[in-house]
């Protein structure tokens, strides 16, 4: 079996550059979905249920993309066609989703519209996102995979930074940050428009710059025979034969992605009430008296923009930390240490009411985020040979999606249990729970034992 050659820095960069645009779309979704549905009138106790759709679509779409792209050979490559189609669909959906409250169809219908388009948006983003991880697995040798995924993590967090800041920056430049009841502010709508334009330009760049290996060359570099490539795939059997790293890293992933789900769901409410003093409303829903935040208030919408700023600080912290991670040869140590820093960030956010301490918290969370993006895929792809790479990466996405689905399903129940009766839901305590989850994940990192499916890199 031939050894894949070293690639120049800029070739590694080009492989992942389109990820910058995809991550802008993902950041806009992550930072604004709770804001959009709260503006449309969603109850905070039900908010986590809206977040079930994105990971649910991911767990369906990504293994399918992996499976079919493993078998796809076209003049444009095997992964790039899926990347381009996913990005094109995402652009259309991004122009539609934030307008859910502007169609004059009533609050309930607007939420249904939003849910359908959220499902389509996450489906298309997943379709566009997964090929980038597969391209690294296909084209980069084991010695450079750590660097390649760190570049991908850098671009991912740089894209996040841009996406998170868009509504805040647009508001600073005079775009309206408030709107009538049930309507999403223009600062959010225009942010989605701009993000869609950047997404398609970045994906076109990668499509033009990256030339994937032809089938024969791929087989030579991955030690595959023609019969091996044509064999039928049983996903259950692949899971049974998966390297141990698949499962031990997956266990760590379970606690990490559950924590991030609660961050995305409850940060808006935490910041609005805890840091901005957003006024509350007494409401009666289905005959039940509830106290909720006034999502039409200036305080709530300003808080939502500052959430974007906090996420941007997280992205900056992650960008810096992503450059530090490759300096450590002991991957388990830096993985565990990064998650402990993130746990500290969540716990600090739970108890502080000082706005600028929020940035300290999110900088620490950014360290955990950088490690979560880079290290699991490095550990896994090193343990795989080239056979069924895309399918395994698609299946591994289950370790990202399943914990989010479970966390989202339990979020409303947990929030009800920890919130005093007749008071505003204690969303800030969900941040403390997220911190505990990252702490547990950091402990489980030490169960991971690195494996190499091809040639073990030299120290």
pLDDT of residue 304: 86
Domain at 9-210+244-447: CATH architecture: Up-down Bundle (1.20)
> 409: which 2 tokens?
């399903």
Summarised one tens digit per residue, pLDDT across range 198-256 is: 999 998 998 888 888 777 777 776 666 554 555 556 666 777 677 788 889 889 999 99
Most distant CA pair in the chain, distance: 70
Query: In the chain, which stretches have pLDDT less than 50?
Result: 227, 454-459
Measured CA to CA, the distance from residue 299 to residue 184 in angstroms comes to 15
Buried b (16+ CB within 10 A) or exposed e, 333-367: ebbbbbbbbbbbbbbbbbebeeeeebbbbbbbbbb
| Number of Cβ within a 10 Å radius of residue 456 | 12
| Number of Cβ within a 10 Å radius of residue 215 | 13
26 CB-contact burial (10 Å; exposed 0-12 / middle 13-18 / buried 19+): buried
Angle at 56 (CA atoms; ends 77, 258), nearest 5 degrees:
110
**What are the extents of the domains in the chain?**
9-210+244-447
Q: In terms of Cα–Cα distance, which of 284, 428, 439, 291 is closest to 365?
A: 439
Q: What is the pTM of this model?
A: 0.73
pLDDT of residue 258: 94
pLDDT of residue 71: 75
């Amino acid at each position: 079996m031939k050894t894949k050659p070293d690639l120049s820095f800029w070739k590694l960069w080009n492989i992942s550059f389109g990820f910058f645009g995809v991550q802008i779309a993902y950041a806009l979704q992550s930072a604004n979905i709770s804001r959009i549905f709260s503006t449309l009138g969603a109850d905070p106790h039900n908010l986590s249920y809206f977040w079930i759709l994105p990971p649910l679509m991911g767990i369906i779409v990504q293994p399918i993309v992996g499976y079919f792209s493993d078998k796809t050979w076209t003049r444009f490559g095997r992964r790039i066609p899926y990347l381009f189609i996913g990005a094109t669909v995402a652009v259309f959906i991004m122009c539609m989703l934030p307008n859910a409250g502007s169609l004059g169809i009533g609050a309930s219908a607007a939420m249904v519209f939003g849910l359908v388009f959220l499902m389509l948006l996450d489906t298309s983003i997943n379709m566009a996102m997964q090929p980038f991880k597969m391209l690294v697995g296909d084209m980069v040798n084991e010695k450079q995979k750590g660097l390649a995924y760190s570049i991908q993590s850098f671009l991912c967090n740089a894209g996040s930074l841009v996406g998170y800041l868009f509504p805040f920056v647009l508001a600073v430049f005079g775009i309206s940050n408030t709107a009538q009841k049930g309507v999403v502010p223009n600062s959010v709508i225009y942010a989605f428009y701009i993000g869609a334009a950047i997404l398609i330009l970045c994906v076109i760049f990668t499509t033009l710059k990256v030339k994937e290996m032809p089938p024969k060359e791929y087989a030579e570099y991955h030690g595959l025979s023609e019969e091996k490539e044509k064999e039928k795939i049983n996903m259950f059997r692949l899971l049974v034969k998966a390297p141990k790293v698949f499962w031990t890293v997956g266990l760590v992933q379970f606690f990490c992605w559950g924590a991030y789900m609660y961050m995305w769901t409850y940060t808006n409410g935490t910041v609005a009430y805890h840091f901005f003093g957003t006024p509350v409303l007494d409401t009666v829903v289905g005959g039940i008296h509830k106290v909720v935040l006034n999502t039409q208030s200036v305080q709530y919408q300003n808080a939502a923009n500052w959430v974007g700023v906090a996420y941007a600080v997280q992205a900056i912290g992650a960008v810096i930390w992503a450059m530090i991670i490759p300096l450590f040869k002991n991957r388990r140590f830096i993985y565990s240490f990064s998650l402990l820093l993130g746990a500290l960030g969540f716990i600090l956010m739970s108890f502080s009411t000082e706005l600028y301490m929020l940035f300290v918290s999110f900088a620490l969370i950014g360290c955990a985020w950088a490690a979560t993006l880079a290290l699991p895929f490095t550990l896994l792809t090193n343990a795989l040979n080239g056979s069924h790479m895309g399918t395994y990466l698609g299946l591994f996405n289950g370790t990202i999606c399943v914990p989010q689905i479970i966390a989202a399903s339990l979020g409303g129940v947990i929030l009800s249990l920890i919130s005093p009766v007749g008071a505003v839901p204690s969303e800030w305590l969900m941040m403390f729970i997220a911190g505990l989850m990252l702490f547990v994940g950091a402990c489980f990192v030490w169960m991971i034992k690195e494996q190499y499916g091809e040639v073990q890199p030299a120290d």
